[in-house]
Structure 1
Amino acid sequence: MQRESGEKALGAAALASVGQSLPHDSAIRHVSGSAVYVDDIREPAGTLHVVPGWARDATRGRILSLDLDPVRAHPGVVAVLGPSDVPGKNDVSPALGDEPMFAEEEILFWGQPLFAVVATTREAARHAARKARIEVEDLPPLLTVEDALAADETVLPDYQFRKGSPETGLATAGHLMEGSLRIGGQEHFYLEGQVSLAVPGEDGDMFVHTSSQHPSETQHIIARVLAVPDAAVTVEVRRMGGGFGGKESQANHWAAIAAIAARATGRPCKLRLDRDDDMIMTGKRHDFRVDWKLGHDAEGLLRVVDMRLFARCGYSADLSLGVVDRSMFHADSSYYYPDAMIHSRRLKTHTCSNTAFRGFGGPQGMLAAERMMDALAIRLGVDPLDLRKRNFYREGRDVTPYGMKVEEHATLHAIVEELEESSDYRLRRDEIAAFNASSPILKKGLALTPVKFGISFTLKHLNQAGALVHLYTDGSIHLNHGGTEMGQGLFQKVAQIVAEEFGVTLDKVKITATHTGKVPNTGPTAASSGTDLNGMAAKIGAETIRGRLVAFAAERYQVAPDAISFAGNRVQLGERSMTLGELAREAHLARIQLSAAGFYATPNITWDRPSASGRPFFYFAYGAACSEVTVDTMTGEMRVDRVDILHDVGHSLNPAIDIGQIEGGFVQGMGWLTTEELVWDDRGRLRTHAPSTYKIPTASDVPEDFRVALYASAGNPSPTVYRSKAVGEPPVMLAISVFSAIHDALANLNPGAIPDLDAPATPEAILHAVLSMKRSRAG
C-alpha cells in the first residue's frame, strides 16, 4: 500500500496545527481498548437491562392476541412495557409519525418490536422476551420493488427533475439505448451496535448516553414519548464505534425505549441490541431498480437521459425523502445531460425501514450513470474513459438536471488527467488486452471512474451548527460543538482549528462529549458536513474570544491590534510577550468574557423542492479512481489487483485522517458493490443477519497495491474553514471503479455484448453475467 501525504495540497500558509498529519485524538485509546463507549460506562447502582420483544414467526399480519404473562413471570423481570405504557406519543419517526415504538394492531415487518422487557440482567431479559405468546393473522407482504409497483404502494409521493424537453430529445436523438440495473442495499455493520443508557433525574428529567449521530433529534423524540419538554431531556455522545448513517435516525428508537423503561422503573436502564436483532430490526442502504434510456450522437455525446429510480424504502418513510432526492441529484455523476428526466418512486414494502447510509443515496444514482457509460462504450466500441471524458461537464455544458451550474469542472478534468497518467492507464489497457487474448478463463478488467459529489444538506435548515468555547485563566481551552465523533476524526480536526486560532498546542484544547445541554438544536453529523459546519462554528467562537483579548491587550499595553499575535502558547504584544494563560488571567480580572458560542450557517445555498430549483450544494468534492481486477469466469471469484486514487480535499486540515477516510470509504464502497448481499426469503425474513451470512470486506480483500494521493488543490474556492473540502462520503463512490472494472472484464467474453451484471457483483452475480454473455454469443 502506498500513500502520499499531499503536503502540496495544504497551501502556502505556514500553519502550526491545521494541515498537519496529527493522530486521531482517541487513537491510542482505540488500540489499547481504553476508549469508553456507551456499554463501557460504569453502570449506576441498580441499573436494569432492556430487550425488545417481537414476533419471530410473523412477518406481516394483524395482531390477534399478545399474552405477556409468561414474560412477566420469568425470574429477574421487573417490568414489561407496551404501547399503553408510553407516557406520550407511541412514535419514534423523525418526521411523519409513521414509526410506532411498539406495534399496536398490525406487524409491518419481520422484527418489528411489540413490547420491551426490563430485567435485572440482560440475559434474563433476552430469555423472557422469547416467552411471549403471540397470535397473528398473516397478511401477504410486499417484499420487492415489483410487489410495491404492482400494488402502487409508496411511502412518499413521486418526485422528478426535468431539464429541457426529454421527450423531444428522445424523438430526435440519432441513436437510442436503454437498460436496467438492480442495486443492492447494504448493512451498516458498525462495530458498536445500537446502545443507550438512560438515567432518570429529579422532576422528570432524563439523562441519556447513546450512540447517535443526531443527539438533538434523539432528545426531541425521547421528550415526545415521555411527554416532557425538550429541556427536560439531556443527551450525551462522546464517541461511536461507527455510524455510517445507521445511527442518524435509527438510534432514536432504542434510546426512547431505554428512557421509558427508566421512567417506568425509576432506575437507570440500558438497552444494547443483540447483533442479530440489530441487523434484523434496523434499516439499511436503500436498494434500487434503475431503468434508463438515453439518446446520443455517433460519437457518443449524450443528447438526452431518461432515468427512473425505484427505491425500496421499507415500511415507513424514515429519511427516504432526502436519500432518494440525493440519488436523483447524483444521477448525472460527472456528465452533462442536455435534456433530462430524472424520476423517482419511493416504494413501500413490508421490510425494515431503510435509512441513511454513507453517501445518502448518491452512490446509487452515480452507479446508474456509470453503468450507462460502460454500456454505451461497449456499444460504440470505444474506451470507456474516452467516452466519459467526452461527456464531462465543461464550459458551456455546465448545468445539472436540477438547474445548478457546475463552477469547478476544471478540477474534475485535472484530476482525471493526472490519474490517467500516474496510473499508466493507457499502457495497462494494452497489457490487459494482450492478457485477455491469451487467457480463456481468467479475465482482467480496468476502469477509471470520476466522482463529483455535492456537499450540503439539501434540507436547508440542517446547514447550521453551533459550538461552545471556553478559555480558562491557565490558558487551557474547553471545546464543545454539535458534531458527533464516530471514528472519522471530526473532534481532532475541530480541535486543530481551535488550537490554530489561539496559537496553542493541541494539549491545551480539551475535547468534550457532544451534549445537548451545551449546544442545542444541532443537526445530524452527516452529509459529509461535520467539519465544514462545526469546524467553522468553533472557529467563529474562538475568533470571538481572541478578538476580545486583542481589544483588551491593545488598550492595556498601548499597542496596535495588528501588532498582537498568538503562537507557541504565547501572545506577542509588540515587544512584550506573555503566555496565553497570563493574558487570560489579566482579562478575567478586567471582567472580559472568556466564553463564546460560535454559530455558523452555510451561505449561498437554497433549494425549493416543489419547483425543483435553486442551488442545493455549497460546492462539489471531486476525485477519481482507477481499479484493476481479475475475474475467474469458471467460479465467479474476483480479485482486486490494484487501485489508484486521486482525491480532492481542498486544503487538507489533516492529511493523515483524510487519507484514512479515503481508504476506508473506498473499501466500504467496494464491499457494497462486491460482497455485501442482503437476502430476504419469500416470507419477508432477513436471512443475512449475522457475520456468518453477511460478508463485509476483510483485510485480505483490500488490494495489496493500493495507491492513494491527495490532489494538489489550490484550495476550495468556496469559503470553507481554511479552504478545506469534505471527505466523509465522496470516497465511497470511488469504488464504482471496481464494479466497472468487473463489467469491463466480463465484456471480453463476447465483444460487443453488454454483461447483465447487477450489484453487488458477488460470485453468483458474476457467474450469472458470464452465462448471459455465453448465451448471447451462442445466439
Structure 2
Amino acid sequence: MKNVDSKSHVRGESVYLDDIPLINGTLFACVYDSPVAHGVLKSVEIEEAEKSEGVVRVITAKDLIGDNEIGNIFHDEPLFADEEVHFQGMPIALILAETEEQARIAAKKITVEIKPLEIVTDPRLAHAKNDLIVPPKHFKLGDSEAAFKASKYVFEGRADVNGQEHLYIETQGAYCVPTEQNGIKVYSSTQGPTAVQRCVSRVTGVPMHLIEVDVQRLGGGFGGKEDQANAWAAMCAVGTQLTKRPVKYALHRIEDMRMTGKRHPYSADYKIGLDKDLKILAYEVVFYQNAGASADLSPPVLERTLFHCTNSYFIPNVTATAYSCRTNLPPNTAFRGFGGPQGMFV
C-alpha cells in the first residue's frame, strides 16, 4: 500500500488543524477550568474577564441553547460545570477573544467560589462507596472453586497498573465556521467524526444534517481522540453559534494533559492455582478500573479487560469480576489495547 502522505510529511507541507488558513474575523477560545477536583460550584464571576481587552464573549453552561451534555454511551458528562465540579481541569467557562493571548489573559481574571467535597482518586475507595459507572461485569469458565481444591500450588496477590498519557504530537483542538441555514462546519482533530457531529448537534440544538465535520488528518490519536475530541469541537461550535463568527481552539500541551483522560489505571486482586507440573488449573481475579469522573468509553474498555484476562493461556477454570469505579479524575478513555493490556498484565 502506498503512503500518500509521506512526501508532504517530510516536506512539512501536510495540513493539520493548526495549519488551516484562518477566515477573517476568527475568534480564539480559551477554557477556564476548575482549580479543584470536587466541590459545589457556588458562583462564577466573569465580569472582569468580559471587560478584558479583545474579549467578545464569555460562555458558561447557562448560555447553551442545546443540552449541557457530551456523554456518548451514557449522558453523565456536562460540557461545562454547572452545579458541581468533578475533577481538576473540568471546563467551567469559555472565553472568546480577538487573539489567543487576549483569551488566555482574560481566563485568568475569572474567579469562582467552590465548596469543597470529598476527593476520591482511588478506585478501591470508590468501589467501597458503591460509586460505580455501570453494574459489575463478570466472566466465568468452569468451576474455579473446585479447581483450587485440586491445586498443588496456590498464589495470591495484588497488581496495580498506572495510567498513561497519550501524548499525541498534535494536541486536541477544533475550528468551527458558520455556514448557510445556520449550519456549522467543524474542522476537528478526531478519530470519530460522527461522534463529533452527534455531540455538536446535541449541545447546539442544530440538526445533524446542518453540521459538517472535516478531518483532513490527525497528528496522533491512539484512542485519545475517539470521544475526548467531542468537547473541544462542541465548545467551538457553541462559540460560532452565539457569535456568528469562526472560532478556533488548539490546546496547549499542558492544558491537554491537565484536562483530558488517560489510559485507565487499574488495581486488581488475583489468585492462581497450579498442579504439580505447574500447569495452570484455576484463576480468580477482581479488577477495579479507575474510570474518572464520567463514563466516556470505560464500560467497553472494562469488557475488553475481561476478554483478555487470561492473557495468552487457556485456563479451564476462571472467575473474573470487574468494577468500573467513578473517581475525581478527568474521564479516562480509550488507549491502544483498549483495556486488554491491564487485564493481561495481572
* Shorter-normalised TM range: over 0.9
Look up the equivalent residue of 1:31 and give its one-letter code: V
- Which residue of structure 2 lines up, in the alignment, with residue 182 of structure 1? 160
Q: Report whether the alignment pairs 1:148 with 2:126.
A: yes
- Which residue of structure 2 lines up, in the alignment, with residue 209 of structure 1? 187
Equivalent residue of 1:258, what SS?
helix
Structure 1 residue corresponding to 2:113, chosen from 135, 138, 151: 135
The answer for unaligned runs of 5 or more in structure 1 is: 1-17, 369-779
- Which residue of structure 2 lines up, in the alignment, with residue 54 of structure 1? 33
Equivalent residue of 1:310, what SS?
strand
Largest Rg, 1 or 2: 1
Equivalent residue of 2:281, what SS?
strand
Q: Report whether the alignment pairs 1:200 with 2:165.
A: no
CA RMSD in angstroms, aligned pairs only: 1.0
Q: Please report how far the alpha carbon of residue 291 of structure 1 lies from its aligned counterpart in structure 2 after TM superposition.
A: 1.2
Distance 1:359 1:181 in 2: 18
Look up the equivalent residue of 1:271 and give its one-letter code: Y
1:85-484 alignment runs, 5 A limit: 85-368=63-346
Look up the equivalent residue of 1:111 and give its one-letter code: G
* 8 Å CA contact 2:34, 2:87 repeated in 1: no
- Which residue of structure 2 lines up, in the alignment, with residue 393 of structure 1? none
Deviations 1:15-67 (Å, cap 9, x if unpaired)? xxx5xxx4x211122222111001100001100011111232x2211011111
Q: Please report how far the alpha carbon of residue 280 of structure 1 lies from its aligned counterpart in structure 2 after TM superposition.
A: 0.7
Structure 2 residue corresponding to 1:77, chosen from 41, 49, 55: 55
Distance 1:119 1:46 in 2: 10
Distance 1:236 1:253 in 2: 16
The answer to which structure, 1 or 2, has the higher relative contact order (CA under 8 A, 6+ apart) is 2
Look up the equivalent residue of 1:41 and give its one-letter code: I
Distance 1:313 1:111 in 2: 16
Count how many residue pairs are aligned between Structure 1 and Structure 2.
346
- Which residue of structure 2 lines up, in the alignment, with residue 37 of structure 1? 16
Q: Please report how far the alpha carbon of residue 126 of structure 1 lies from its aligned counterpart in structure 2 after TM superposition.
A: 0.8
Q: Please report how far the alpha carbon of residue 295 of structure 1 lies from its aligned counterpart in structure 2 after TM superposition.
A: 1.2
Q: Please report how far the alpha carbon of residue 203 of structure 1 lies from its aligned counterpart in structure 2 after TM superposition.
A: 1.2
Distance 2:217 2:237 in 1: 20
Equivalent residue of 1:209, what SS?
strand
Look up the equivalent residue of 2:30 and give its one-letter code: V
Q: Please report how far the alpha carbon of residue 238 of structure 1 lies from its aligned counterpart in structure 2 after TM superposition.
A: 0.9
Q: Please report how far the alpha carbon of residue 241 of structure 1 lies from its aligned counterpart in structure 2 after TM superposition.
A: 0.3
Q: Please report how far the alpha carbon of residue 156 of structure 1 lies from its aligned counterpart in structure 2 after TM superposition.
A: 1.3
Among the aligned pairs, what percent are the same residue?
A: 38
Deviations 1:303-330 (Å, cap 9, x if unpaired)? 1110111110001011011111111111
Q: Please report how far the alpha carbon of residue 147 of structure 1 lies from its aligned counterpart in structure 2 after TM superposition.
A: 2.3
- Which residue of structure 2 lines up, in the alignment, with residue 66 of structure 1? 44
Equivalent residue of 1:223, what SS?
helix
Look up the equivalent residue of 1:40 and give its one-letter code: D
Distance 2:167 2:264 in 1: 15
Q: Please report how far the alpha carbon of residue 152 of structure 1 lies from its aligned counterpart in structure 2 after TM superposition.
A: 2.3
Q: Please report how far the alpha carbon of residue 212 of structure 1 lies from its aligned counterpart in structure 2 after TM superposition.
A: 0.2
Q: Please report how far the alpha carbon of residue 275 of structure 1 lies from its aligned counterpart in structure 2 after TM superposition.
A: 1.1
Q: Please report how far the alpha carbon of residue 360 of structure 1 lies from its aligned counterpart in structure 2 after TM superposition.
A: 0.5
Look up the equivalent residue of 2:23 and give its one-letter code: P
Equivalent residue of 1:181, what SS?
strand
Equivalent residue of 1:157, what SS?
coil
The answer for unaligned runs of 5 or more in structure 2 is: none
Q: Please report how far the alpha carbon of residue 127 of structure 1 lies from its aligned counterpart in structure 2 after TM superposition.
A: 1.0
Equivalent residue of 2:177, what SS?
strand
Equivalent residue of 2:209, what SS?
helix
Distance 1:55 1:367 in 2: 34
Equivalent residue of 1:156, what SS?
coil
Distance 1:305 1:80 in 2: 55
Look up the equivalent residue of 2:31 and give its one-letter code: P
Distance 1:318 1:168 in 2: 38
Equivalent residue of 2:133, what SS?
strand
Distance 1:290 1:71 in 2: 46
Distance 2:142 2:246 in 1: 59
Look up the equivalent residue of 1:356 and give its one-letter code: A
Q: Please report how far the alpha carbon of residue 367 of structure 1 lies from its aligned counterpart in structure 2 after TM superposition.
A: 1.4
Distance 1:134 1:225 in 2: 24
Distance 2:323 2:90 in 1: 24
Q: Which has the higher helix share?
A: 1
Deviations 1:740-774 (Å, cap 9, x if unpaired)? xxxxxxxxxxxxxxxxxxxxxxxxxxxxxxxxxxx
Distance 2:176 2:73 in 1: 23
1:612-623 alignment runs, 5 A limit: none
Deviations 1:86-126 (Å, cap 9, x if unpaired)? 11110011121111000001110001000100000111101
Q: Please report how far the alpha carbon of residue 237 of structure 1 lies from its aligned counterpart in structure 2 after TM superposition.
A: 0.3
Q: Please report how far the alpha carbon of residue 175 of structure 1 lies from its aligned counterpart in structure 2 after TM superposition.
A: 2.1
Q: Provide TM-score, normalisation by structure 1.
A: 0.44
Q: Please report how far the alpha carbon of residue 185 of structure 1 lies from its aligned counterpart in structure 2 after TM superposition.
A: 0.6
Q: Please report how far the alpha carbon of residue 151 of structure 1 lies from its aligned counterpart in structure 2 after TM superposition.
A: 1.9
Equivalent residue of 1:125, what SS?
helix
